[in-house]
Amino acid sequence: MRGFNRMVIGYYKMKWAAQSGCVRKWRSLNERRKQIEAHESINARPTGVFLHQFSASGVLAAMVTNELTIIKPDDFHHHFRDGDALKSVVPLVASRFRRAIAMPNLKPPVTTTTQAVAYRERILAALPAGAIFTPLMTLYLTDRTTADEIYAARASGIVFAVKLYPAGATTNSDSGVTDMQAIRPALKAMAEVGIPLLVHSEVTDADVDVFHREAAFIVRILQPLVDENPDLKVVMEHITTSEGVDFVMACGSNVAATITPQHLMYNRNAIFQGGLQPHVYCLPVLKHERHRQALLGAIASGSSKFFLGTDSAPHPQTAKESTSGCAGCFSAFAGLELYAEVFESIGALDKFEAFTSKNGAAFYGLADNTEKLTLQRKAWRVPMTYPLGQDTVVVPLRAGQEMAWSVKQG
C-alpha cells in the first residue's frame, strides 16, 4: 500500500513539475551535474599512479624493453645556478646530457656575452675530471638589449639563445621585459643571425587567473610576436596547456616547444595532495588533467616540434618550505629517467630518442651528438635530499619514491 501511495504522489509531483516547467529545468540541472561529475572524476585521478602500472606488472614487464640505447641527449632548459651549487648540479647534468641550455636568470642576470663567457667558465670548472659536456649559454633579454649585443653573442660562438622573461614572471625575473616595443631591434637581429628566442610564456597581470596565464600570453603577446617576426626561431618554453600545444602545432617550423617531466607526470592535484606540496610548485604552475593529456598527446605524436627541456631549478629546501616558497622543481638527478617512465607509460618509447636527442638539436641547427647512452630497467629509490652547495640541500621530485630506469654506467 505504501509503495502504491509513493507512486501516486510521484505521479502528481511529476504532473505538477511538468505543468510548472520544472522538469525541463531539473533535466538541464541533472545534465549539468553529470557533466561536472565527469569533469571532476578526470581531474581527481590520482597523479603518477598510472606511471607505475607497467613496471608493477610482471607480465607486461616481461614483454617490454629492458635496455634503451640512444644518442646521448641534450637538455634544452636547465638552471645550473651559480657559486658552490655548481659543484652539486653540473655532475648530475653531465652524466645524462651531452649539452644543456644554461638559463641566464642569475643574480644579477646574464645580459651580455662577456658575462656569458665568464658563467660558462664557472660551469666548466665544476665538471668532474674527464667529463665531456658543453654548456649552451644564453642571454637574458631586457628592454635595453641592443642589436649589437646580439651580433656580439653570435660572433662569440658560445651563446645559443636569448631568453625572454616577462618582468616578474618567475624566479629572478625582475629585470625582464616590460615593453615589447623596446625589444624589436634585438628580435630583428636575432632573426637575422639565427639565434632562437626562448620564451617564458605567461602574462604577469595579477588580474589574470594563474591557470590561464599561458593561454592569455599566446593571444596577447606570442601570436603577434610570431606574426611580426616570421623568420625568428621561437621556443615556447615548458608548455603546460592544450592551448600551448595547439599554438605550436599551428605555427611554422620556426616555432617549437620544450616540455618538462613534471608537467607530463602531474596535474594540479599534486600541489594539494595530502597538504600543500611545495616541491611540485613551479611556474608555469601544474595544470588540469586535460592539459596534461594534451602534453602526453604531443610527445606521443612524434612531432619534431617538441623536445626535452627539464627546467630543473634547484632551490634550498628552506626556500621552498617557507612562506612565499620559491617556484621550481629539481629533476637534474634523473632528468632522463623521469621522461623514460612517462614515454613508457603511454607506449611511446619508440618516440623517446627523437624527443631526447634529435628534435632539439635539429631546431637549434646543431649536429646530433656522436656519444651514446644506455638506460636500463633497474629500480632505485630517490634520496630525500641532494646536496646543493656545501651548506644546503634540495628536495628532489619524487623524493623517497622508486624510479624504474637507471643510467647504465661505463
Per CB under 5 A, residues contacting Zn ion are 311
Pick 225 or 313: Cβ nearer Zn ion:
313
Pick 287 or 351: Cβ nearer Zn ion:
287
Pick 74 or 311: Cβ nearer Zn ion:
311
Among all residues, whose Cβ is closest to Zn ion?
Answer: 311
The answer to whether 285 touches 271, Cβ cutoff 8 Å, is: yes
Amino acid at 98: R
- What is the smallest separation between the CB atom of 100 and Zn ion, expressed in angstroms? 12
The answer to whether 256 touches 363, Cβ cutoff 8 Å, is: yes
Pick 360 or 404: Cβ nearer Zn ion:
360
Pick 75 or 311: Cβ nearer Zn ion:
311
266-276 in b/e form (b: 16+ CB < 10 A) is bbbbbbeeeee
Pick 238 or 292: Cβ nearer Zn ion:
238
How far apart, in Å, are the Cα atoms of 131 and each of 75, 90, 116?
Answer: 16, 10, 21
- What is the smallest separation between the CB atom of 103 and Zn ion, expressed in angstroms? 5
Count Cβ atoms below 10 Å from residue 76 Cβ, excluding itself. 29
Residues 6+ apart with CB under 8 A from 166: 173, 176, 177, 200, 202, 203, 204, 217, 221
Q: Which residue in this structure is represented by grid cell 553529470?
A: 34
Choose, from 311, 350, 368, 391, the residue flagged as catalytic. 311
CA proximity to 293, closest of 246, 257, 337, 241 = 241
Pick 243 or 311: Cβ nearer Zn ion:
311
209 is catalytic: no
- What is the smallest separation between the CB atom of 201 and Zn ion, expressed in angstroms? 11
- What is the smallest separation between the CB atom of 344 and Zn ion, expressed in angstroms? 25
Residues 6+ apart with CB under 8 A from 195: 150, 153, 154, 159, 160, 161, 162, 233
Residues 6+ apart with CB under 8 A from 64: 54, 344, 349, 377
Q: Which residue in this structure is represented by grid cell 646580439?
A: 150
Pick 289 or 311: Cβ nearer Zn ion:
311
Query: Residues 68, 353, 73, 366: is their CA dihedral positive or negative?
Result: positive
CA proximity to 334, closest of 92, 66, 74, 55 = 92
Sheet containing 159-164: give its strands across: 74-78, 99-102, 134-140, 159-164, 197-199, 234-236, 255-259, 306-308
Catalytic residue list: 311
